[in-house]
Structure 1
C-alpha cells in the first residue's frame, strides 16, 4: 500500500473513495430494506406483507398508481383470507394509505370516498360492538382513529379542488364534538377498566384548531376565537406551535363581529383591538423563552407574524408611526428567515401606509 500510495497517490485515493462509497451504499440499502421493506410490515402475515411491499414500491419509489392500487386491494383481500381483524390499526392504516395515494395523484374525490367508507364502517363498529364487555380498549382506539379520519375529511372537503365548505365544517364539527364529549364522559364517569388513554392534548388541540381554521376562513371569527383559546390551553407552553395559535387567536379577536341579541351592544372596537394586541404580545413572549431543541422554525415564523399583527393593531388605532415601526421589524424578521409570505405582507402594509 505504501508503494502504491507513493507511485499513484491520486489513483489510490480514488479507489479508496469508491470502496468507501460502495460500503456506505450497501449499508444504506440494507438499512432501507430492513426498515421499510421488512420492519415496516412485521405485524402483517408474510402473504399480506408481500403485496404491501409491491404497493409501497409503486407508491413511493416507482410511481404507478394503477399497480399500487392493485396491490393494496390484493393485500386487503389476502388479509381477509388470513383472518386479520378488519378494524385493526394495520388494516385501517392500509385503507388510509389508499386514500393518501388518491390524494397524492390529486384524485381528491376518490380519497374522500375511501375515507368516508372507513369512517362509516368504524362508527358502525362503535355503535354495534363498542359497548360489549371486553371491547373497551378497541372502542377507544377505533373512535380515536375515526376522529382523525373526520379531521382529514374536513381538510379534503375544504381544499381548493373540492370546495365543499359545508361538508368540511360538518366533518370537523363532528370531530370536535366527539373529542369533547368523550373527554367530558371520562371526567364525569372516570376511565373504565381496559379503556386505555384517549387522544393526547396535542391531538385534541389539533382537532379544535382545524375547525377554528375553517371558521376563520369563512370570516366567522367569533366562532374561531373560543376554539383557538381551547387549543392554546391544550398546547404545551414550550411548543412553538403555541405561538401560531396565539397569533390566530389575536387575529380572530380583532375581527370579531358576532351576531347580537335584540338590545345587546357590540363590544367596543378599542377593547377588541386591545385584547388582540395582548395575545400577539403573549405570542412574542412565549417564543422568546423557547430554546433549542424545542425551538423550531414555527417560533421564527410566529415572531414575524405576531410583529406584523401588532403593526396592524397599531394601524387600527390610528398610530401610524408605531404601525410603520412594527411592519419594518416584521419585514426584517421575515427576510432573515426566508419567510416570503411575511415579507410580501409587510411590503404591502408599508406601501399602504405611504398612501395615508
Structure 2
C-alpha cells in the first residue's frame, strides 16, 4: 500500500479569491471617487479632506483629553480616591449636574481617603472638602458650601490647637494654617454673596483670615523662621487676602475701612502685574466715595480761668478729596502703559476703561461736563473693545446723565 500523503491547502488557491474581492472593492472605490469628483470637483475633495482632518483631530484630542482632563487633575490622589473624585466632578457640572450624586461621591472619596491612610490635613485631603464647597457653589447650593467650609474650619482649628506646636519644624503647621486662611476667605465671600447676605458672618470670617495672616507674617518678620518651618504665603496671596476684605467693605459702602486694605494690598502686588491697575482704581473709588469727617463743634467762649484748646487740624474738603482720587486714577492709566506686553492681560484693558470712567465721574462732580462727556465716551469705547460689558453700560449711563445736565444748563 503506498504511503498516505497528508493534504495541505494550496495558499495560492486560497489567496486568489480574496485577491479578486480586494481588487473588485478597490476598483469600485476608485470608480466612486472619480464619479463624485466629476460631479463635485470642489465640494467633494473638500468634504473628504474635512472628514480625514476630523478623524485626525479626534485621534489627537481624545488621548489628550483623557490625560489632561480626566487623569492629570487627580494625579496626586491615590487611584481609589481619584475614581470617586472623577465621578463627583462629573455630577457637579454641565448637563449631568446632580448635586445629590456629587455629594455622595465626595463623601465616599473622604471615606476612601481615610481607609487608604491619607493624612486628614494633607493638601490633597483638605482639597477634597474645598472642591466639594466649589461644587456646591457652582450648583448654587451656597448654604451647603459654607457648611463644608465651616466643617473644615472646625477640624483644622482643633488640629492647630492640639497638634500645631508639634509641627513647627516639618512645615505642616504653616501649610495647614495657610489652607485654613484661604478657606475662610472663600467662606467670607460666600456669606457676602447676594443669595446669603450674612454680612456680619462674612466680615467675621474675612477679618479672622486677615488678622491671622498678618499676625503670622509679623511673627516671622520679628522672630525669624524656625528651623524647617517652611514657606507660608506668597506676596500675591497676602495681597489677595487683604483685597478680599477690602472688597467686602467697599461692597457695603465702608470705603474708609476698604481704603487702607487696598493700599496695603498694592504694596504686595507685583509692579508689572495688571492687577495693580485694578487696585489703584479701587483706591481712587474709595477716596471719592468715603464721607468727609464732620467738622468739630464750635468752641465755647472761654472764661478767664479756662485753657484755650488747640486749633483742630484742618479737615480735607470735597475738592481736595476728589483731586486725590483723580491722581490715583491717572496713576492707574500711566502705570498701565509701563507694564510689559508679555504681562498684559484683560485686567489692563478693563482697568484702563474703569480709570477713564472714574475720571469722567470726577469731572462731572466738579461741574466740568464737556470734559466728563469726552471721558465717558472714551471709556465706553475702551470697554467695548475689551469686551467689558458692565463698564460699557456704566459709561453709557454716564453719557446720558451728562447730556441731560448739559441740556438743562443750555436752557
TM-score of the alignment, normalized to the shorter chain, above 0.5: yes
Count residues with an aligned counterpart: 356
1:347 corresponds to 2:396: yes
Aligned to 2:122: 88
Larger radius of gyration: 2
Offset at 1:331?
2.0
1:29 corresponds to 2:78: no
Q: 1:16-95 residue pairs with structure 2 within 5 A?
A: 16-60=49-93, 62-95=96-129
Q: Aligned partners of 1:65, 1:174: CA distance in 2, in Å?
A: 30
Change (3 A) 1:175 1:6: same
TM-score (norm 2): 0.81
1:172 corresponds to 2:221: no
Offset at 1:220?
1.2
Aligned to 2:356: 307
Offset at 1:41?
2.7
Aligned to 1:102: 136
Q: Aligned partners of 1:260, 1:13: CA distance in 2, in Å?
A: 76
Q: Aligned partners of 1:128, 1:266: CA distance in 2, in Å?
A: 50
Offset at 1:266?
3.3
- Among candidates 268, 286, 289, match of residue 317 of structure 2: 268
Offset at 1:258?
6.1
Q: Aligned partners of 1:109, 1:53: CA distance in 2, in Å?
A: 23
Tell which deviates more after alignment, 127-136 or 286-295: 127-136
Tell which deviates more after alignment, 55-64 or 283-292: 55-64
Compute the RMSD of aligned alpha carbons: 2.3
1:293 corresponds to 2:342: yes
Offset at 1:109?
0.4
Flag structure 2 segments of 5+ consecutive residues without an equivalent. 1-25, 38-42, 298-311, 406-411
1:202-243 per-position Cα deviation (integer Å, ceiling 9, x unaligned): 111111111111111121111111111111111112111111
Offset at 1:42?
2.8
Flag structure 1 segments of 5+ consecutive residues without an equivalent. none
Change (3 A) 1:261 1:133: farther
TM-score (norm 1): 0.92
1:104-143 per-position Cα deviation (integer Å, ceiling 9, x unaligned): 1111101000001101211211121111155541111111
- Among candidates 265, 270, 274, match of residue 231 of structure 1: 265
Aligned to 1:211: 245
1:159 corresponds to 2:193: yes
Aligned to 2:160: 126
Offset at 1:256?
2.0
Moved over 6 A (4+): none
